[in-house]
Structure formats: structure tokens, C-alpha cells
């Protein structure tokens, strides 16, 4: 199981809660993603996957160092057809 330390601030907590995502759900997807990529415009990491609750999420985050992660946002993405 990967180990990461997550930085949670009042700002990023409020932001993901506005999207209906809990801290635990965001952490689940970062630790156990189905797919990851890097945003070519800003270099932020993207994790896609199903949280333990069953929600399929996209989590945008940044590495602060090798094991510390700052979650920028997390949400249920729109289906792509």
C-alpha cells in the first residue's frame, strides 16, 4: 500500500466538499488510481479511479515532496462519449 502524507487546508477541504467529495474518497483515488496522467498545461498530476464508496472520481494534485501531496480539487467527471 502506498504511503502519502496529505496536506489539508481549510481552502482545499471546502473546495472538494463543494463537489460532494470527502477527504477519504480523494485519498483513496490518489493511493489506488485506475489511471494517472499529468496535465500538460500546468504539470499537475491527475488520478482517476473508484473510491471505496463507489464514486468514480478525478483528483487533481501536486507533489510537495516525494511523499507529501496537496490535493487541488476532486470531483465526479462528466462521462465522455
pLDDT in tens, the chain (81 residues): 578 999 999 999 999 999 999 999 999 999 999 999 999 999 999 999 999 999 999 999 999 999 999 999 999 998 776
- Structural domains of the chain, count: 1
End-to-end CA distance of the chain: 33
Give the pLDDT of residue 36: 96
- Is residue 80 included in any domain, yes or no? no
SS3 70: strand
- Is residue 27 included in any domain, yes or no? yes
Q: What is the reported pTM?
A: 0.92
Give the pLDDT of residue 29: 97
- Is residue 32 included in any domain, yes or no? yes
The rounded distance, in Å, linking the Cα atoms of 77 and 64 is: 25
Domain that holds residue 64: 5-75
The rounded distance, in Å, linking the Cα atoms of 27 and 45 is: 13
- Is residue 81 included in any domain, yes or no? no
Amino acid at each position: 500500500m502506498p504511503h502519502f502524507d496529505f496536506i489539508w487546508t481549510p481552502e482545499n477541504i471546502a473546495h472538494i466538499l463543494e463537489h460532494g467529495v470527502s477527504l477519504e474518497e480523494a485519498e483513496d483515488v490518489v493511493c489506488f488510481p485506475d489511471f494517472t496522467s499529468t496535465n500538460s498545461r500546468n504539470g499537475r498530476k491527475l488520478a482517476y479511479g473508484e473510491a471505496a464508496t463507489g464514486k468514480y472520481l478525478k483528483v487533481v494534485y501536486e507533489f510537495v515532496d516525494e511523499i507529501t501531496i496537496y490535493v487541488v480539487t476532486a470531483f465526479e467527471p462528466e462521462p465522455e462519449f
